[in-house]
């Protein structure tokens, strides 16, 4: 199957000369994790990720997208889905712009890992369990942690989501999307609402509950179906009521390849 069979056509993009605050609003309204960046002729210049929003504070609202644009892997409509998935894994992005050709960088569509999962050949999904591919050394946060602190830790660790614990028990999940949607994307000095790190809201005010979980002995196919049904990027792996791992879209697509 080719990229053009599953990609979204006429995607929303942002010009490199527009403000980051505008990009943040688009990503918040549409729940996007990445956004294609184009020039005045609709040629792809790269992608804007949630991480770029770390550069926004209430005192830097006039910063443009151009300086925060990351390179995007070259994905074309006639490319095999498996090849595009490998490029996305290498770039560690779950959503990439599709250009018309290797010679023409005009924006043609958008491809996400979810698109690939929805059209994956079920016969090629390996007969493995979640236990075999999950991340075991799980970094968590506390429900009482400040949002600003958790956002900063996510940026340092390169995470887009963290399980939330209270008294040693898993109680929820907090993601970059949750923080951005709540308007608390920040850097070290000041939050969007002008609150300092020590006075921002606690995680329990915005975390998703109950936590989405899966058993370690569940199959990869079951994990993919669950992620698609819930429209989430990761699942906490729980065994006997205890958090033992985490599995995300990247783990699953990597296993399928």
pLDDT digits (tens, 9 = 90+) for 210-240: 889 999 999 999 999 999 999 888 999 999 9
CATH number at residue 103: 3.10.580.10
What CA–CA distances, in Å, run from 38 to 70, 102, 117, 186? 12, 16, 27, 25
pLDDT digits (tens, 9 = 90+) for 33-54: 889 999 999 999 999 987 776 6
C-beta of residue 223 within 8 angstroms of C-beta of residue 125: no
Q: Is 140 contained in some domain?
A: yes
Residue 137: partners with Cβ closer than 8 Å, 6 or more residues away: none
What φ, ψ does residue 204 adopt, rounded to 5°?
-60, -15
% the chain with pLDDT above 70: 90
Task: Please check whether residues 157 and 252 belong to one and the same domain.
Answer: yes
Task: Please check whether residues 165 and 107 belong to one and the same domain.
Answer: no
Task: Please check whether residues 183 and 242 belong to one and the same domain.
Answer: yes
Residue 135, exposed/middle/buried by CB under 10 A (0-12, 13-18, 19+)? middle
**Number of structural domains in the chain:** 2
Domain boundary among 99, 119, 139: 119
Q: Is the pLDDT of residue 188 over 60?
A: no
Q: Is 124 contained in some domain?
A: no
Count, residues in the chain? 257
* Exposure of 106 in the CB half-sphere (CA atoms within 13 A): 6
pLDDT recorded at residue 196:
52
Q: In which band, very low, low, confident or very high, does the pLDDT at 25 lie, cut at 50, 70 and 90?
A: confident
Return d(Cα 55, Cα 122) in angstroms, integer.
41
Reading the block at residue 43, the tokens are 């040629």
Task: Please check whether residues 149 and 234 belong to one and the same domain.
Answer: yes
Maximum C-alpha span of the chain: 56
pLDDT recorded at residue 60:
57
Domain boundary among 119, 153, 181: 119
Return d(Cα 82, Cα 2) in angstroms, integer.
9
3-state SS track over 124-187: HCCCCEHHHHCECCCCCEECCCEHHHHHHHHHHHCCCEEEEEECCEEEEEEEHHHHHHCCCCEC
Task: Please check whether residues 141 and 247 belong to one and the same domain.
Answer: yes
pLDDT digits (tens, 9 = 90+) for 117-164: 888 877 778 899 999 999 998 999 999 999 888 988 888 887 889 999
Mean pLDDT, all residues of the chain: 87
Reading the block at residue 179, the tokens are 């923080």
Q: Determine the structural domain holding residue 109 and report its residue range.
A: 3-119
In the chain the first and final C-alpha atoms are separated, in Å, by 14
């Amino acid at each position: 199957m080719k990229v053009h069979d599953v990609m979204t056509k006429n995607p929303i993009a942002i010009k490199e000369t527009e403000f980051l605050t505008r990009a943040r609003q688009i990503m918040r309204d549409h729940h996007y994790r990445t956004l294609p960046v184009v020039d005045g002729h609709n040629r792809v210049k790269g992608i804007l990720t949630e991480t770029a929003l770390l550069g926004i504070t209430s005192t830097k609202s006039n910063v443009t997208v151009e300086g925060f644009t990351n390179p995007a892997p070259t994905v074309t409509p006639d490319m095999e889905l498996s090849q595009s998935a490998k490029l996305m894994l290498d770039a560690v992005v779950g959503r990439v712009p599709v250009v018309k050709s290797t010679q023409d960088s005009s924006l043609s569509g958008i491809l996400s890992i979810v698109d690939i999962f929805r059209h994956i050949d079920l016969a090629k999904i390996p007969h493995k369990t979640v236990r075999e591919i999950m991340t075991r050394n799980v970094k968590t946060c506390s429900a009482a942690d400040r949002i600003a602190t958790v956002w900063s830790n996510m940026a340092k660790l390169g995470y887009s989501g963290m399980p939330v614990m209270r008294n040693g028990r898993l109680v929820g999940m907090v993601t970059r999307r949750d923080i951005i949607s709540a308007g608390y994307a920040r850097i070290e000095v000041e939050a969007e609402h002008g609150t300092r790190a020590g006075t921002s809201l606690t995680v329990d005010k915005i975390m998703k509950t109950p936590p989405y979980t899966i058993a370690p002995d569940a199959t990869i196919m079951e994990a993919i179906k669950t992620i698609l049904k819930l429209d989430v990027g990761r699942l906490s792996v729980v065994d006997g009521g205890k958090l033992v791992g985490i599995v995300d879209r990247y783990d699953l697509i990597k296993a399928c390849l």
